[in-house]
Amino acid sequence: MAEQLIELNVTGMHCNNCALSIHKLLEKKGLNNILVDFAGEEVKFSNTTDTALADIVKGIEQLGFKVVDDAALYAPKFYERVETKFLFCALFTAPLLLHMVASWHVVHNPVVQLLLCLPVFAVGCLHFGKSAFYSVKGGTPNMDVLIFIGSTSAFIYSLAGTIQNLGSQYLFYETCATIITLVLLGNVFEKRSVNQTTSAIKDLVKIQQVTANRMIDGAVEVIRANDVHAGDTLLVNHGDKVPVDGDILEGNAALDESMLTGESMPVEKAKYDKVIGGTIVQRGNFRMMATKVGSNTVLAQIIELMKKAQAAKPPVQKLGDKVASIFVPVVILIALVTFVATYFLSDSGLQRSLMNAIAVLVISCPCAMGLATPTAVMVGLGRAAKNGILIKGGDTIEAVANTKYVVFDKTGTLTTGKFSINDIKVEGDAHIELIRGVITAIEERSNHPIARSLVDGLKDLAKTKLILRSAKEEKGLGMRAEDVDGNNYFLGTGKNVNSDNFNLSLYKNQVLLAQIAMDDTIKPEAAALIAQLKAMGITPVLLSGDRNSRCLNVAKTIGIAEIHSEKLPDEKLRIIDIYKQKGKTIMIGDGINDAPALTKADVGVSMNDASQIAIQSARVILLNTDLGSIVKFLQISKHTLLTIKQNLFWAFAYNVVAIPVAALGFLNPMVGAFTMAFSDVIVIGNSIRLKSKRLK
């Protein structure tokens, strides 16, 4: 059977344990490439088996989840909402709790208590029981198993006492009802808190959901941004969001690009400039041609990268996942041991033994461990995105911990990448007009900062342009090209080729035509960045293909002591490998020649205006070209990892302390249920704190 790639929207997942149960179900059905993102409510897998999609959907829904067409548009029915279930149960639980303090005869009647508890128990069976049954059947028992066993034990014990008229000491209807109601209350807070942790992606998705003004034969029709096709002409006015990526055909405007770059200052745009979907027109209006639509837009790619990043587990999460996967059977075993030990080894009797066992069941909380890492990662990634830092994987956050070296490329990274042409020295009898035309024609085919600067500097001076048959970039050297007459050209640099003043050479059929002198300017914030890195105990390193004299000049100006100049891509690779052996190494670059080194480093960081290959090779993309983003990235990563460790400590410590305390009889089941319900909220709350936490 041919491989089918399937993507489902699944609602009802509220922690990593939910995702784990779906993952194991799909594994048992023989599916491959499984990705379950509980925060993004997405399940992806490839199917090469004969299993029908309907059977897969049925299996997922039997676990207690809901497969929908569009999670963003899905609105559960009133009676399906967890808030409704909680309010309904609270209505019946309140009188049951009142009987413990009030002297009303009616609420002390066992039959009245049974009638008050029965609706709550029914909701509990439907809400927790179905999920518990199918999770056990699927071999992945979840937290609902503990809640269901605990509440059912209390109900059956009380029901037996009522039928046999054994007296008030056998009635624990309020325990059954309170366990269910308090856990539902915890689910309400948990649901709202998780929504806050995923707000970054949801905000970006909302940006996509705009309308567009499409121009057809002079008339304007309003359509959804999803219905725009490449090549459509769109009218964008003051206050509008740019619907898709494209090029301005007519008009000018100031655009707010802060949602992409974190840069608060508006960016001026004019004819032929590129605009990005989701950015806001603060002033002016223009006509544009759509060039990238749907999943090809920058915004759509960022959303997809963030979804994948949230699903990538840091190594620190693996311990939590392992414990969570065996947690429920272990807790049930502890509860059974508690019951047997209390009943046979002490004079507590059946009632006390049962209450201690139920307390063990309802106070334990595997969800806290399942939520500890992903919620912190989601908030950290979201905060980074709002600062113009796109992190491709949650595991990247841990990968930068204890960074020892940050290796910089020079051109376009520490320098502006905007070069000025100081001089062109013509060799032999070649004409300057011809030289300008050859340079422009060749460098138009490159995305390197030097190439772009050459084209910008010569486009108004090059009167005649060479017609090329082919052109290709050679990593670390320059461009090779062939014209329609079969002449071969090389424009670039190499070791011991250029003098200190002239750093580029142009050859035609291996004969030198001209030499070009270019200067680059250092970014104003570069020196401050290097000082900050040193203060953080990180050693900055300069690694460049440029000439030694220029590298020394830049390094001396901004304070870098370790320099490696005139290095080709394979040499850069070896140097990165040497630094990796000495300590955790980050590489920051922007050119094609940096791509191998970006991949080799522990974490590769690429500038947004870099070549596409560099962006694909890097694990972090700085959408804002301000170098201060590097320190912000390191700070966010550090505090996200700290938050993960705090969450895991709480989750483990809570269970290690709470379960023995409950087993020894120091906690009644209602207090246990209350504590368990809010342990998740504490973990999520600590993660949400990262949104506004002051970073040091």
Three-state SS sequence of 402-416 = CEEEEEECHHHHHEC
**Tell me, what's the pLDDT at 233?**
92
472 beta partners: 480
Give the pLDDT score at 204: 67
pLDDT (0 to 100) of residue 530 = 93
For residues 161-171, give the mean pLDDT: 74
Q: Are 466 and 486 in contact (CB under 8 A)?
A: no
What does the pLDDT average to over 176-191? 80
409 is known as an active-site residue: yes
Domains and CATH numbers, the chain: 4-75 (3.30.70.100), 229-292 (2.70.150.10), 378-415+522-636 (3.40.50.1000), 420-519 (3.40.1110.10)
> Does pLDDT of 379 surpass 80?
yes
Show Cβ contacts of residue 138 under 8 Å, excluding neighbours closer than 6 positions. 21, 24, 25, 28, 59, 63
Residue 578 has pLDDT above 90, yes or no: yes
Beta bridge partners of 211: 224
Kindly tell me if the per-residue pLDDT of 3 is higher than 70: no
Q: pLDDT for 39-88, tens place per residue?
A: 677 888 888 777 788 888 888 888 778 888 766 666 677 777 888 999 99
What pLDDT was estimated at residue 494? 54
**Catalytic pick from 409, 520, 546, 590?**
409
More confident of the two residues 191 and 689: 689
Q: Binning pLDDT at 50, 70 and 90, where does residue 194 land?
A: low
Q: Which of the residue ranges 155-169, 204-218, 432-446 has the most confident prediction, judged by mean pLDDT?
A: 432-446
Report which of 182, 110, 24 is spatially closest to residue 676, judged by C-alpha positions: 182
Distances in whole angstroms, Cα of residue 387 to Cα of each of 143, 148, 223 = 37, 44, 31
Residue 562 has pLDDT above 90, yes or no: yes
Q: How far is CA 586 from CA 599, 602, 603, in A?
A: 10, 6, 5
Higher pLDDT, residue 537 or 1 = 537
Determine the pLDDT at residue 366: 67
The model's pLDDT over 546-560, given as tens digits with 9 standing for 90+, comes to 778 788 888 999 999
pLDDT of residue 329: 84
225-229, 299-303, 663-667: range with lowest mean pLDDT: 299-303
Is it the case that residue 649 has pLDDT exceeding 80? yes
Residue 376 has pLDDT above 80, yes or no: yes
User: Is the pTM for the entire model greater than 0.75?
Assistant: no
pLDDT band at 655 (very low <50, low <70, confident <90, very high): confident
Contact 97, 182 (CB under 8 A): no
Q: What is the pLDDT of residue 539?
A: 94
**Banded model confidence at residue 594, pLDDT cuts 50, 70, 90:** confident
Task: Between 370 and 328, name the one with better pLDDT.
Answer: 328
Q: At what angle do helices 110-124 and 82-98 cross, to 10 degrees?
A: 160
Rg of the chain over all Cα atoms, to the nearest angstrom? 32
Query: For residue 686, which of 638, 633, 656, 644 has the smallest C-alpha distance?
Result: 644
437 closest CA partner among 424, 419, 422, 450: 424
Residue-wise pLDDT tens digits, 322-335: 666 677 788 888 88
Average the pLDDT over 674-693 and give the result.
81
Q: Say if residue 667's pLDDT is above 60.
A: yes
Amino acid 214: pLDDT: 92
pLDDT digits (tens, 9 = 90+) for 400-441: 888 999 999 887 788 876 777 878 888 878 888 888 888 888
Tell me how crowded residue 122 is: count the other CB atoms within 10 A of its CB. 13
87-118 core/surface letters (b: 16 or more CB in 10 A; e: else): ebbbebbebbbebeeeeeeebeebebbbebbb
Give, in order, the Cα–Cα distances in Å from 17 to each of 14, 85, 321.
8, 22, 8
Higher pLDDT, 314 or 379: 379
Q: What percent of the chain has pLDDT over 70?
A: 84
Compute the distance between CA of residue 200 and CA of residue 303 in angstroms, rounded to an integer.
Answer: 9
Those residues whose C-beta lies under 8 Å from the C-beta of residue 394, and which sit 6 or more positions away, are: 309, 310, 311, 312, 313, 314, 317, 373, 374, 377, 381
Average pLDDT over residues 683-693: 85
Residue 135: name the closest of 14, 25, 10 by CA.
Answer: 25
Handedness of CA 392, 14, 677, 343 (dihedral sign): negative
**Mean pLDDT computed over every residue of the chain:** 81
* Largest Cα span, the chain: 116
Query: Cα 66 to chain center, whole Å?
Result: 24
Confidence label for 610 from pLDDT (cuts 50, 70 and 90): very low
Q: Are 608 and 261 in contact (CB under 8 A)?
A: yes
Q: Is the dihedral of CA 371, 372, 374, 377 positive or negative?
A: positive
Task: Give residue 617's pLDDT.
Answer: 67
pLDDT tens, position by position, 271-303: 888 888 888 898 899 999 999 888 778 777 777
Least confident of 93-97, 211-215, 263-267, 314-318: 314-318
Mean pLDDT value across residues 625-642: 87
- Mean local confidence (pLDDT), 644-663: 84
How far apart CA 10 and CA 5 sit, in angstroms, is: 16
pLDDT given for residue 14 in this prediction: 66
What's the confidence (pLDDT) of residue 496? 47
| The pLDDT of residue 157 | 80
